[in-house]
Chain A
Amino acid sequence: NAGVTQTPKFRVLKTGQSMTLLCAQDMNHEYMYWYRQDPGMGLRLIHYSVGEGTTAKGEVPDGYNVSRLKKQNFLLGLESAAPSQTSVYFCASSYSYETQYFGPGTRLLVL
């Protein structure tokens, strides 16, 4: 039982490049979330999903897209990376009102 895993762990991008962050969970959770963590700002919700095939915007969705084609996977895409997207990205999953379980994070640097 791996819990929540994230790929990659670290990535460096140039401005304008694209990439996809992968989150996978093996707990059969319906709900999945993407957050970004920035110094002095805590965690902010980017997008979330309440089930396979659904997505919704969070607090800071601009510049990101997501997809939930399979229940266990939640992908976060950056179509044209900007330096302002340098951050640590965390994925989490949960049952409806239950505890959120977090992955180990992906550190992204955009030059």
Chain B
Amino acid sequence: GDSVTQMEGPVTLSEEAFLTINCTYTATGYPSLFWYVQYPGEGLQLLLKATKADDKGSNKGFEATYRKETTSFHLEKGSVQVSDSAVYFCALRLVGTGTASKLTFGTGTRLQVTL
């Protein structure tokens, strides 16, 4: 079946450090890929998305490129801030599986940024 694999956390970085959170996927079709972020005590929010191979999603300084050849969608940020501390979820949605936008999530990666 379809699945998403994320690097295990927690990831602990100092402020202004470079961030990479790895995400790879397995899918039978052609998925759209997403990164969601969950701040403490809150629900998930869409951070960025990419709908086809080689697309780059970006938002709030975060970027991720849809790599079909490596089935990956790694999240990067050049300089993290304390306010970026959260849990990050990679997810996929298969195109053509009906109109309901059903998502398959990874297990989440907790990021802790310190001063």
Q: Which residue from chain B places its CB closest to the CB of A93 in the assembled complex?
A: B101
Chain B residues positioned under 8 Å from A56 (CB to CB): 100
**Number of interchain pairs (Cβ within 8 Å):** 56
Which stretch of A12-20, A62-70, A78-86, A98-106 is in the interface? A98-106
**In the complex, chain A residues 52-78 whose Cβ is within 8 Å of any chain B Cβ:** 56, 58
Chain A residues positioned under 8 Å from B108 (CB to CB): 42
Task: Report whether A50 and B105 are in contact in the complex, using a CB–CB cutoff of 8 Å.
Answer: no
Q: Which residue from chain B places its CB closest to the CB of A4 in the assembled complex?
A: B43
Q: Is A2 an interface residue (CB 8 A)?
A: no
Contact residue among A33, A96, A98, A104 (Cβ-Cβ distance under 8 Å from B42)? A104
Chain B residues positioned under 8 Å from A98 (CB to CB): 101
Q: Is B79 an interface residue (CB 8 A)?
A: no
How many residues of chain B are within 8 Å of chain A by beta carbon? 20
Q: Which residue from chain B places its CB closest to the CB of A58 in the assembled complex?
A: B102
Nearest CB in chain B: distance from A5 CB, A: 10
Task: Report whether A103 and B102 are in contact in the complex, using a CB–CB cutoff of 8 Å.
Answer: no
Place the interface of chain A in its size category. Answer: 20 to 34
From A31, A43, A45, A103, name the one whose CB has the most chain B CB atoms within 10 angstroms.
Answer: A43
A4 to B45, CA, bound (A): 12
What is the interface of chain B, defined by CB distance below 8 A to chain A?
4, 36, 41-46, 49, 89, 98-103, 105-108
What is the interface of chain A, defined by CB distance below 8 A to chain B?
4, 31, 33, 40-45, 48, 50, 56, 58, 90, 92, 94-100, 102-105
| Interchain Cβ contacts under 8 Å between A and B, 21 examples | A31-B99, A31-B100, A41-B107, A42-B106, A43-B89, A44-B105, A45-B102, A48-B102, A50-B98, A50-B99, A58-B102, A90-B43, A92-B43, A94-B101, A96-B99, A97-B99, A99-B49, A100-B46, A103-B43, A104-B41, A105-B42
